[in-house]
Protein backbone atom coordinates (compact mmCIF):
# COMPACT_ATOMS: atom_id res chain seq x y z
CA UNK A 1 0.00 0.00 0.00
CA UNK A 2 1.37 3.41 -0.89
CA UNK A 3 1.37 6.48 1.30
CA UNK A 4 -1.56 8.89 0.92
CA UNK A 5 -1.08 11.82 -1.44
CA UNK A 6 -0.65 15.20 0.18
CA UNK A 7 -1.35 18.33 -1.81
CA UNK A 8 0.74 21.35 -0.88
CA UNK A 9 -0.07 24.77 -2.34
CA UNK A 10 2.85 26.03 -4.47
CA UNK A 11 3.02 29.25 -2.44
CA UNK A 12 3.56 27.18 0.73
CA UNK A 13 6.26 25.05 -0.95
CA UNK A 14 8.06 28.17 -2.21
CA UNK A 15 8.01 29.82 1.21
CA UNK A 16 9.26 26.62 2.86
CA UNK A 17 12.18 26.45 0.38
CA UNK A 18 12.85 30.15 0.93
CA UNK A 19 13.06 29.58 4.69
CA UNK A 20 15.45 26.64 4.19
CA UNK A 21 17.64 28.72 1.87
CA UNK A 22 17.86 31.40 4.53
CA UNK A 23 18.30 29.06 7.49
CA UNK A 24 20.79 26.63 5.93
CA UNK A 25 22.61 29.09 3.63
CA UNK A 26 22.15 26.57 0.82
CA UNK A 27 20.42 26.79 -2.54
CA UNK A 28 16.99 25.13 -2.64
CA UNK A 29 15.54 23.85 -5.91
CA UNK A 30 11.89 23.08 -6.65
CA UNK A 31 10.10 21.86 -9.73
CA UNK A 32 7.12 24.19 -9.84
CA UNK A 33 5.57 23.17 -13.12
CA UNK A 34 6.05 20.99 -16.14
CA UNK A 35 9.61 21.83 -17.22
CA UNK A 36 9.77 24.84 -14.88
CA UNK A 37 12.23 24.99 -12.00
CA UNK A 38 13.23 27.57 -9.40
CA UNK A 39 16.58 27.70 -7.56
CA UNK A 40 16.30 29.90 -4.48
CA UNK A 41 19.72 31.22 -3.47
CA UNK A 42 21.15 31.20 0.06
CA UNK A 43 19.49 33.97 2.06
CA UNK A 44 16.19 33.46 0.22
CA UNK A 45 16.13 36.90 -1.42
CA UNK A 46 17.06 35.94 -5.01
CA UNK A 47 16.30 33.10 -7.37
CA UNK A 48 16.81 31.65 -10.83
CA UNK A 49 13.86 30.44 -12.86
CA UNK A 50 14.64 28.03 -15.69
CA UNK A 51 13.31 25.41 -18.06
CA UNK A 52 15.23 22.44 -19.43
CA UNK A 53 13.67 23.03 -22.84
CA UNK A 54 13.15 26.70 -23.68
CA UNK A 55 12.97 29.79 -21.50
CA UNK A 56 10.69 30.77 -18.62
CA UNK A 57 8.19 33.61 -18.94
CA UNK A 58 8.66 36.78 -16.96
CA UNK A 59 5.08 36.46 -15.68
CA UNK A 60 6.08 33.22 -13.93
CA UNK A 61 9.07 34.98 -12.35
CA UNK A 62 6.81 37.82 -11.18
CA UNK A 63 4.42 35.31 -9.60
CA UNK A 64 7.28 33.55 -7.75
CA UNK A 65 8.70 36.91 -6.60
CA UNK A 66 5.26 37.85 -5.25
CA UNK A 67 4.91 34.49 -3.45
CA UNK A 68 8.34 35.02 -1.86
CA UNK A 69 7.39 38.61 -0.90
CA UNK A 70 10.46 40.12 -2.58
CA UNK A 71 10.51 43.90 -2.41
CA UNK A 72 11.23 45.76 -5.67
CA UNK A 73 12.76 42.76 -7.47
CA UNK A 74 15.09 43.31 -10.43
CA UNK A 75 14.77 40.93 -13.39
CA UNK A 76 17.54 39.88 -15.75
CA UNK A 77 18.92 36.96 -17.73
CA UNK A 78 21.84 34.63 -17.06
CA UNK A 79 23.32 32.51 -19.84
CA UNK A 80 24.87 29.35 -18.45
CA UNK A 81 26.69 26.63 -20.36
CA UNK A 82 23.45 24.93 -21.40
CA UNK A 83 20.53 26.96 -20.00
CA UNK A 84 19.34 30.55 -20.08
CA UNK A 85 17.82 31.45 -16.71
CA UNK A 86 15.66 34.34 -15.66
CA UNK A 87 17.28 35.91 -12.58
CA UNK A 88 15.37 37.76 -9.90
CA UNK A 89 16.96 39.57 -6.96
CA UNK A 90 15.36 41.68 -4.27
CA UNK A 91 16.52 45.30 -4.24
CA UNK A 92 19.37 45.63 -1.74
CA UNK A 93 19.75 41.88 -1.17
CA UNK A 94 23.22 40.97 0.04
CA UNK A 95 25.28 38.56 -2.02
CA UNK A 96 25.29 35.47 0.20
CA UNK A 97 27.84 32.82 -0.85
CA UNK A 98 26.60 29.26 -1.19
CA UNK A 99 27.72 26.81 1.47
CA UNK A 100 30.09 24.01 0.39
CA UNK A 101 28.48 20.75 -0.67
CA UNK A 102 27.65 18.38 2.13
CA UNK A 103 24.93 16.06 3.39
CA UNK A 104 21.40 17.44 3.12
CA UNK A 105 20.02 18.62 6.46
CA UNK A 106 16.49 17.46 7.18
CA UNK A 107 15.06 20.69 8.53
- Strand ranges (E), 34-99: 36-40, 46-50, 74-79, 84-89
Say how many domains are in the chain: 1
Which pLDDT score, from 0 to 100, does residue 2 have?
75
Q: Rounded CA gap, 40 and 89, in Å? A: 10
Q: What percentage of the chain reaches a pLDDT higher than 90?
A: 72
Residue 76: pLDDT above 80?
Answer: yes
Query: Is residue 2 assigned to a domain?
Result: no
More confident position, 94 or 1: 1
DSSP 100: P
Q: What is the mean pLDDT of residues 74-98?
A: 84
Query: Is residue 104 assigned to a domain?
Result: no
Q: Rounded CA gap, 12 and 33, in Å? A: 15
Tens of pLDDT, residues 13-37: 999 999 999 999 999 999 999 999 9
Three-state SS for 30?
strand
Query: Is residue 59 assigned to a domain?
Result: yes
Which pLDDT score, from 0 to 100, does residue 101 have?
47
CB neighbours of 9 closer than 8 A, spacing ≥ 6? Answer: none
Closest CA to 87 of 71, 98, 76: 76
Which pLDDT score, from 0 to 100, does residue 97 have?
52
Query: Is residue 101 assigned to a domain?
Result: no
Query: Is residue 95 assigned to a domain?
Result: no
Residue 69: pLDDT above 70?
Answer: yes
Domain encompassing residue 15: 10-90
Amino acid sequence: MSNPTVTVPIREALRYAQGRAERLARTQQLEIGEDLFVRIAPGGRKFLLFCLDGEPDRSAAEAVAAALALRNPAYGWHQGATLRSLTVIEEGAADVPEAPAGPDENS
